[in-house]
Amino acid sequence: MDEIFLIGRLMFCFLIVMSGVGHLMATDAMAGYAEMRGVSNAKLMTQVSGVALLAGGLSVALGIFGDLGALGLAILLVIMAVTMHAFWKETDAMNKQMEMVAFNKDIALAGGALVMFSILSSDFAPYTLVDPFINW
């Protein structure tokens, strides 16, 4: 079962790490969208969120204080869902639907990150490079 957890952990982190790379490789496009959504200092915030996604994703994937990485990702994803994908503010039906899908994705990923936090902060944390920072 340890191997199954590792495979699932890596699959979970793939989307997060690739999102971080996307934030950093296409900063201007991402910042334009963030600015349209009302984010102040959109370019800087895009870069900061890209680094946070990369750091959190790699932390969980590699098991280097993966508990902290997972907790940070959960918090970041909820903040991003509420600020970037506030579907309830949309008046256009298509935009509302697209933002709802993105909101739900971020909330689901935040839930997955909380599950990772729970496991990675316990005595059952297989295939990690360091012990958890927080141990229940």
**What pLDDT is recorded for position 18?**
98
When pLDDT is averaged across residues 15-29 and rounded to a whole number, the result is: 97
In this model, does residue 80 exceed pLDDT 90? yes
Residue 134 belongs to a domain = no
Residue 131 belongs to a domain = no
Residue 65 belongs to a domain = yes
Where residue 123 falls among pLDDT bands split at 50, 70, 90? confident
Residue 128 belongs to a domain = no
Alpha-carbon distances, residue 34 vs 23, 28, 41, 66 (angstroms): 11, 10, 9, 28
CB-based contact 84:27 (threshold 8 Å): no
Sequence-separated (6 or more) residues with CB below 8 Å from residue 81: 102, 103, 106, 107, 110
Least confident piece of the model among 10-24, 27-41, 119-133: 119-133
Residue 129 belongs to a domain = no
Instruction: Tally the domains of the chain.
Output: 1
The whole domain housing 109 covers: 2-120
Residue 58 belongs to a domain = yes
Residue 125 belongs to a domain = no
Sequence-separated (6 or more) residues with CB below 8 Å from residue 62: 128, 129
